Amino acid sequence: HLEKLTLSLRIRDRNTFIDGNYLHKYIVSQMSHLHTFIFDIVTENVMGNQLLRPSVDDIRRTFIEKGHCVDCYIDYHYNSIGRCHVYSLPFNMERIHNITHKFPGGMFMNVRVLCVFDYDRPFEHDYFVKISRSFPLLCHLRIINKIPQNDKWSRQLMKPEEAFLIIEYMHLVQLSCIGAHVDYVEQFLCNLNTRLPCLSELHVNYEHLVTVTENFTRNATRMNCSKLEHITFPRKTGIVRSKNFYLYFPLLYHEEM
């Protein structure tokens, strides 16, 4: 008799979102001995009626009425296609499904691996502040967003008293920006935006890395690059490993020697 269930579910191409009523009818009611139910559920590519689109409160209410403590958010795209992400609280999994700009925040002490993505809106500096506070022990982060930022924070942050606005990811060891606009490489590698004291692995487009580091000479990005041991480029052609390159990434140099 199953007493505890942890469910991570991603489902697509439905006409409605998975809500508390559906979950109770098809899962919970079938398990009479179940007393602990932890879940992380995404319903995406949902083609619903634009006039009858449920709100976040509508979805949340269906779970609360069944005795679940949850949070959720919904993305509605221009073509009325919807995506709903709902998860139980407190959240104790090490991974959470990909999150968008609609993510409301919270405290996720157990999450170590995260992907943030969005096809409609950019991620601004404040969004990454929210991510750092919501996932304080995050180790692996992947960014997928081709939309440039509206606010270039590193160009605005000039006053010493504004240093407290710099984001810190104290445990982040791996960062992937391959599916991201160059602005997000700037966002994370420039120490006027972000501090990454443990970053050891970077996945990035070579052209973006050259641009952001000013051909491996820029001091503002040197600190966050100083402990990199592995860098992965999606394309191997056109890469020039100059003297500046090896001076900029000293641990890469020793590794290859």
In a structure prediction context, what are the per-residue pLDDT tens digits for the chain, which is 257 residues long? 788 999 999 999 999 999 999 999 998 888 888 888 999 999 999 987 665 789 999 999 999 999 999 999 999 987 778 999 999 999 999 999 999 999 999 999 999 999 999 999 999 999 999 999 999 999 999 999 999 999 876 555 555 555 568 999 999 999 999 999 999 999 999 999 999 999 999 999 999 999 999 999 999 999 999 999 999 999 877 788 888 999 999 998 554 43
Residues 164 and 143: their CA atoms lie apart, in Å, by: 24
Residues 92 and 131: their CA atoms lie apart, in Å, by: 17
Using alpha carbons only, what angle is made at residue 109 by residues 103 and 115, rounded to the nearest 5 degrees? 45
Contact (CB, 8 A) for 153 and 187:
yes
The confidence score (pLDDT) of residue 50 equals 63
3-class SS of residue 250: helix
Q: Which spans in the chain are helix H?
A: 20-26, 56-64, 125-134, 153-156, 182-189, 206-212, 222-225, 243-248, 250-256
The confidence score (pLDDT) of residue 160 equals 55
Residues 148 and 7: their CA atoms lie apart, in Å, by: 35
Q: Cα separations (Å) of 136 from 39, 79, 94, 144, 187?
A: 21, 35, 12, 20, 18
| Pairing mode, strands 4-12 and 36-47 | parallel
**What does the domain layout of the chain look like in residue ranges?**
1-90, 94-257
3-class SS of residue 132: helix
Residues 251 and 256: their CA atoms lie apart, in Å, by: 9
| Pairing mode, strands 201-203 and 230-232 | parallel
Q: Which two tokens stand for residue 43?
A: 């319903």
Q: Which two tokens stand for residue 231?
A: 């860098």
Residues 175 and 112: their CA atoms lie apart, in Å, by: 12
